């Protein structure tokens, strides 16, 4: 049997899938985040090595030949990140496999735009990013987003979580309007907001991002401050989309795929707000497929396999309950992470 390995790496988690060339998911497993903008190269590489080794262990057990592999990682196209990943994994794990790697925007474009010749994919998870497809070709990193949570402001979980804390701060010190966000934050932190600062700083971007649902829950309860936060962030997302549209040509109709946890969980609030703010010849979609499917499409392409409707159907039928998941669960946990990754120059 021939198989595929696909990886989708973000700020909160990294998903590794082993599939066959018909699209059936054989195993899947989640690991720590591998956003190359927010974790060290060494930590990201260590996580990827463990993930690849786990998938290859199952492949070896069942005599599965890996014919295609792809890693789509947040920050994967920044600087020399793409070269670093390729130069390590190609000779060590995929010497006889068609292997490529890039950014998570490639995964998002595949899922969000699919076969449309022109489209835009916006990712909103812990951080945010955008990918653009023009005349059937995914454009090189447009640098409209993907700068990392400190510098992007595109409707990510971190953006909403940070804005929630800022709203509570303004409420507490009297410089802003009263908001139920403050009470909800206190419940989440189990302490007054100011006393919870250390918890938030220690938790970093991932923890701050986890506060995002407070904003949407508060909006549903009629809180005007929460609604203002969402309106502001959807303005940012719309500006990102419209500027990406200029790269295609503002007169050209295009599909916009909105992917990632924020869009998946908050579609009912975000869709009507966004529809009135983006160019009229853009069609907003909220794809149901996980971003890992976009990475699997690239792995299939590397293996010379068409990710057609049957391939997608097989993926959907087996994603929740992978065919060989028991074998992945049975793998012994790595008892130590020492000596499984050696940075270049330190061997």
pLDDT of residue 310: 97
Does 120 map to a domain?
yes
pLDDT of residue 290: 87
Q: Provide the number of structural domains found in the chain.
A: 2
Strand pairing category for 13-20 and 2-9: antiparallel
Same domain for 89 and 190? no
Does 346 map to a domain?
no
Same domain for 83 and 174? no
Does 344 map to a domain?
no
Q: Tell me, yes or no, if the pTM score tops 0.85.
A: no
Does 224 map to a domain?
yes
Percent of the chain with pLDDT over 70: 95
Question: For the segment 119-159, what is each residue's pLDDT rounded down to a tens digit?
Answer: 999 999 888 889 999 999 988 777 888 787 888 889 999 99
Neighbour count for residue 128 (Cβ, 10 Å): 30
Gap between the Cα atoms of 232 and 225, Å rounded: 11
CB 259 within 8 A of CB 291: yes
**3-class secondary structure for the chain?**
CEEEEEEEECCCEEEEEEEECCCCEEEEEEEECCCCCCCCHHHHHHHHHHHHHHHHHHHHHCCCEEEEEEEEECCCCCCCHHHHHHHHHHHHHCCCCEEEEEEHHHHHHHHHCCCCCCEEEEEECCCEEEEEEECCEECCCCCCCCCCCCCCCCCCHHHHHHHHHHHHHHHHHCCCCCCCHHHHHHHHHCCCCHHHHHHHHHHHHHHHHCCHHHHHHHHHCCCHHHHHHHHHHHHHHHHHHHHHHHHHCCCCCEEEEEECHHHHHCHHHHHHHHHCCCCCCEEEECCCCCHHHHHHHHHHHHCCCCCCHHHHHHHHHHCCCCCCHHHHHHCCCCCCCCCCCCCCCCC
Of 176, 267, 166, which is closest to residue 211 (Cα–Cα)? 166
pLDDT of residue 115: 83
Same domain for 75 and 186? no
Same domain for 119 and 254? yes
Which residue reads 């060339």 in tokens?
21
**Residue 337 pLDDT > 80, yes or no?**
no
Same domain for 122 and 257? yes
**Residue 338 pLDDT > 60, yes or no?**
no
Does 169 map to a domain?
yes
pLDDT of residue 114: 86
Q: What CATH number should be reported for the domain holding residue 175?
A: 3.30.420.40
Q: Which of 285, 304, 322 is at the close of a domain?
A: 285
- For the four alpha carbons of 260, 162, 231 and 106, in that order, the dihedral sign comes to negative
Same domain for 90 and 216? no
Same domain for 250 and 130? yes
Question: For the segment 202-226, what is each residue's pLDDT rounded down to a tens digit?
Answer: 999 989 999 999 999 999 999 999 9
Query: Mean pLDDT score of the chain, rounded to an integer?
Result: 92
Of 225, 227, 258, 226, which is closest to residue 241 (Cα–Cα)? 258
**Residue 97 pLDDT > 90, yes or no?**
yes
Same domain for 209 and 95? no
Q: State which residues form the domain around 54.
A: 2-110+290-330
């Amino acid at each position: 049997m021939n198989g595929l390995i696909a990886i989708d790496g973000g700020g909160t988690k990294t998903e590794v899938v082993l599939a066959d060339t018909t699209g059936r998911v054989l195993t899947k497993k989640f690991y720590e985040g591998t956003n190359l903008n927010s974790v060290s190269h060494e930590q990201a590489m260590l996580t990827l090595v463990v993930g690849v080794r786990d998938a290859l262990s199952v492949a070896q057990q069942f005599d599965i030949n890996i014919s295609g592999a792809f890693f789509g990682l947040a920050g994967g196209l920044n600087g020399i990140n793409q070269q670093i990943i390729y130069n390590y994994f190609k000779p060590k794990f995929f010497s006889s496999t068609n292997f490529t790697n890039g950014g998570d925007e490639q995964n998002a474009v595949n899922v969000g735009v699919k076969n449309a010749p022109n489209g835009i994919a916006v990712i909103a998870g812990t951080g945010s990013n955008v990918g653009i497809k023009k005349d059937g070709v995914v454009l090189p990193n447009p640098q409209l987003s993907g700068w990392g949570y400190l510098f992007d402001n595109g409707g990510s979980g971190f953006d909403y979580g940070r804005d929630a804390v800022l709203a509570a701060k303004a409420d507490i010190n009297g410089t802003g309007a009263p908001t139920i966000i403050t009470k909800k934050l206190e419940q989440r932190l189990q302490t007054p907001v100011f006393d919870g600062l250390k918890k938030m700083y220690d938790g970093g971007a991932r923890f701050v991002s986890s506060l995002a649902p407070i904003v949407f829950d508060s909006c549903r309860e009629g809180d005007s401050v929460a609604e203002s936060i969402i309106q502001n962030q959807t303005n940012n997302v719309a500006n990102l989309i419209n500027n990406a549209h200029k790269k295609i040509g503002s007169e050209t109709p295009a599909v916009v795929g909105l992917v990632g946890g924020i869009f998946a969980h908050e579609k009912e609030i975000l869709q009507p707000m966004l529809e009135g703010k983006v160019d009229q010849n853009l069609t907003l979609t909220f794809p149901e497929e996980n971003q890992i499917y976009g990475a699997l499409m690239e792995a299939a392409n590397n293996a010379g396999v068409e990710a057609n409707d049957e391939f997608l159907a097989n993926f959907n039928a087996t994603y929740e309950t992978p065919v060989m998941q028991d074998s992945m669960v049975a793998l012994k946990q790595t008892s130590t992470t020492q000596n499984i990754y050696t940075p270049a120059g330190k061997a």
